[in-house]
Amino acid sequence: MDEGDQKALGETRARISREIVRLQAEYYGKGPTRAKTYIMDDVVVVVQEESSTRAEKTLAERGEREAIQHIRRRFQQQMADSFIGIVEQATGRRVRAFLSETDIDQDVSVETFLLADER
């Protein structure tokens, strides 16, 4: 990969991270404090840290982790098209699968996108 390709890849990763954070902040009222995007072959992974809201932290402290997981999964299902749109626009490729998971105790979320064949 030449220098131009590396720069373009870095810009794509930064754009995806920035837009995912923006979308979460818009809909949750708070976005993650850190986000990093990895792109390898047909996989895009966005790792986000410290994205829990004050309400979620309070519920977690009271043992309601399952409720938080349920709400987060529902949110991801409802927002899937928006998340997918960010990755498709940034990469120029269609997303064929989107998976999301959150570790409440570590306050880390991972969004994984599997890309279809190149356009």
Average pLDDT estimate for 87-110: 94
pLDDT tens-digit series, residues 29-88: 888 999 999 999 999 999 999 988 888 888 888 998 888 888 888 888 888 999 999 999
Are 102 and 76 in contact, with CB atoms under 8 Å apart?
A: no
pLDDT given at position 16: 98
pLDDT given at position 97: 97
pLDDT tens-digit series, residues 14-31: 999 999 999 988 888 888
Strand spans (E) along 13-116: 34-40, 43-49, 95-103, 108-115
Tell me how long the chain is.
119
pLDDT given at position 3: 84
CA end-to-end span of the chain, whole Å? 20
Q: Which value, in Å, is the radius of gyration of the alpha carbons in the chain?
A: 15
